């Protein structure tokens, strides 16, 4: 499926608002635009065509005369991956001049794995309007999922059953972050339908990602789904090991304990500045370590390997290793520019709702900024066909 040509866009702009067309004067109401993107992606009417949002056009089709600059295009593009619409929609954002009117054109492709949700709610197009989907309409979207190969974390595990998931944990911990509160309060659907709608069940069986995140025994289903933490007294792996931890369990337990361990091992020194004001400076900023370790768990390969993520803490550096090579569109060059791709889209979504990944695609940049602000050198990445590693060095 390809975006519309300029000629086709001109024809759509001249037509009335419909299930495929919406006009906005500006990006002032960002949430309204996100709801429209979500609704276009869900494509309830199954037209199989991109939905188009013309920004810079009045409701009656006349030109609003706004300045379509790089900042406006950036704001629109970031709506795709800021975490408010999940899973991420597929869309393009372009500056166009149609019939002498400068505008931004957002083309949203129908999702191959609906429903998409904006802040936990499923939105659809009903004629020219955007409305919240009813349970029956959401079920239609679920039933219309396109068959085909899924990412590893979305594949069903045919040997597993509902009993292998901690359902109460899902209800108490995950659902409140993944689904809007008022929807939860009035949701009377059976648990199987609820888990299906969250992609935790496929074909009646738990998905691999659901077992890693919410399983009663995650490492039984994915033996490498843990983190090995070593605190080494020295500068080499052959030096004495001060402490060793194997962090297992649900993904929230693994990451929570890892963050606690890192905070415990950070050393803080006092630097007295002019005016006798004491500033406490850590040898490593916790935000940088958080971003890099969460990235390692999120983007690692869980398939065809039983290797864990590794965090080795030496006296002068920390080495973080993630199994699997760079994935998809990410290369050794563009990883520093914010380009990202998702080997495990379900786990990325789960980690977002659990609060470990608030801003998608910015982990490396946030880590670099945090290190720079603290006075540390930039992180040092290395890549191989079997793993991605990053070295973080302490303050000199």
Q: Mind listing the pLDDT tens digit for each residue in 41-92?
A: 999 888 889 999 999 999 989 999 999 999 999 999 999 988 899 999 999 9
Residue 360 confidence class, pLDDT cut points 50, 70, 90:
low
% of residues, the chain, pLDDT over 70: 94
Domains, the chain, ranges and CATH? 6-132 (3.30.950.30), 149-219 (no CATH), 227-393 (3.30.565.60)
CB 342 within 8 A of CB 357: no
User: CA-CA distance, 193 to 137, in Å (whole number)?
Assistant: 13
Residue 148 confidence class, pLDDT cut points 50, 70, 90:
very low
pTM here is: 0.72
Q: What is the pLDDT of residue 335?
A: 82
- List CB contacts of 171: < 8 A, sequence separation 6 or more: none
- DSSP assignment of 36-95: HHHHHHH-TT---S-EEEEETB-TTS-B------HHHHHHHHHTTTSSSEESPPPEEEEE
User: CA-CA distance, 179 to 367, in Å (whole number)?
Assistant: 29
Query: For the chain, what is the total number of helices (H) and then of strands (E)?
Result: 14, 18
User: Would the pLDDT of 146 be above 70?
Assistant: no
Mean pLDDT to the nearest integer, 338-347 = 85
- Mean pLDDT across the chain: 90
User: Would the pLDDT of 273 be above 70?
Assistant: no
CA-to-CA dists, residue 181 to 158, 175, 200, 221, angstroms: 32, 9, 19, 31
Closest CA to 367 of 390, 387, 340: 390
User: Would the pLDDT of 339 be above 50?
Assistant: yes
Task: Report the Cα–Cα distance between both ends of the chain, in Å, rounded.
Answer: 53
Lowest mean pLDDT among 104-108, 149-153, 161-165: 149-153
Model confidence pLDDT, tens digit, residues 252-268: 999 999 999 999 999 98
Between 360 and 142, where is the model more confident?
A: 142
User: CA-CA distance, 36 to 130, in Å (whole number)?
Assistant: 6
User: Would the pLDDT of 132 be above 60?
Assistant: yes
Mean pLDDT to the nearest integer, 338-365 = 84
Query: Across-strand partners of 22?
Result: 53
- 169-173, 198-202, 229-233 — most confident range: 229-233
Lowest mean pLDDT among 74-88, 126-140, 177-191: 177-191
% of residues, the chain, pLDDT over 90: 68
Model confidence pLDDT, tens digit, residues 92-107: 999 999 999 999 999 9
User: CA-CA distance, 39 to 254, in Å (whole number)?
Assistant: 35
Mean pLDDT to the nearest integer, 369-388 = 94
Residue 151 confidence class, pLDDT cut points 50, 70, 90:
confident
Mean pLDDT to the nearest integer, 355-365 = 79
Model confidence pLDDT, tens digit, residues 11-40: 999 998 899 999 999 999 999 999 999 999
């Amino acid at each position: 499926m390809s975006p519309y040509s300029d000629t086709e866009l001109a024809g759509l702009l001249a037509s009335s608002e419909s299930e495929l067309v919406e006009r906005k004067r500006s990006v002032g109401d960002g949430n309204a635009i996100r709801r429209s993107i979500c609704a276009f992606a869900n494509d309830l009417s199954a037209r199989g065509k991109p939905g188009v949002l013309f920004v810079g056009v009045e409701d009656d089709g006349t030109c609003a005369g706004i300045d379509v600059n790089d900042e406006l295009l950036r704001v629109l593009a970031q709506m795709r991956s800021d975490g408010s619409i999940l899973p991420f929609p597929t869309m393009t954002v372009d500056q166009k001049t149609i019939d002498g009117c400068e505008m931004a054109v957002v083309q949203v492709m129908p999702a191959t794995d609906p429903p998409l949700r904006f802040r936990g709610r499923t939105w659809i197009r009903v004629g020219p309007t955007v409305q919240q989907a009813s349970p029956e309409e959401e079920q239609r979207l679920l039933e219309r999922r396109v068959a085909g190969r899924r990412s590893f974390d979305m594949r069903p595990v045919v040997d597993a059953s509902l009993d292998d998931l901690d359902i109460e944990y899902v209800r108490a911990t995950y659902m409140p972050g993944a689904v809007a509160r008022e929807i939860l309060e009035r949701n009377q659907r059976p648990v199987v339908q609820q888990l299906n709608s969250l992609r935790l069940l496929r074909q009646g069986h738990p998905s691999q990602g659901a077992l890693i995140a919410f399983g009663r025994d995650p490492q039984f289903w994915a033996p490498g789904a843990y983190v090995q933490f070593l605190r080494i007294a020295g500068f080499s792996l052959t030096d004495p090991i001060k402490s060793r931890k194997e962090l297992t369990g649900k993904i929230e337990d693994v990451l929570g304990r890892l963050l606690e361990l890192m905070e415990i091992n950070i050393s803080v020194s006092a630097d007295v500045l002019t005016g006798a004001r004491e500033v406490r400076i850590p040898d490593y900023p916790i935000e940088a370590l958080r971003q890099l370790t969460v990235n390692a768990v999120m983007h690692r390969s869980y398939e065809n390997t039983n290797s864990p993520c590794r965090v080795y803490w030496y006296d002068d550096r920390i080495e973080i290793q993630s199994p699997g090579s760079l994935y998809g569109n990410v290369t050794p060059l563009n990883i520093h520019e914010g380009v990202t791709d998702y080997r495990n889209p379900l786990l990325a979504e789960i980690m977002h709702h659990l609060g470990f990944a608030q801003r998608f695609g910015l982990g490396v940049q946030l880590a670099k900024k945090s290190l720079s602000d603290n006075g540390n050198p930039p992180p040092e990445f290395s890549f191989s066909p079997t793993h991605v590693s990053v070295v973080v060095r302490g303050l000199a």
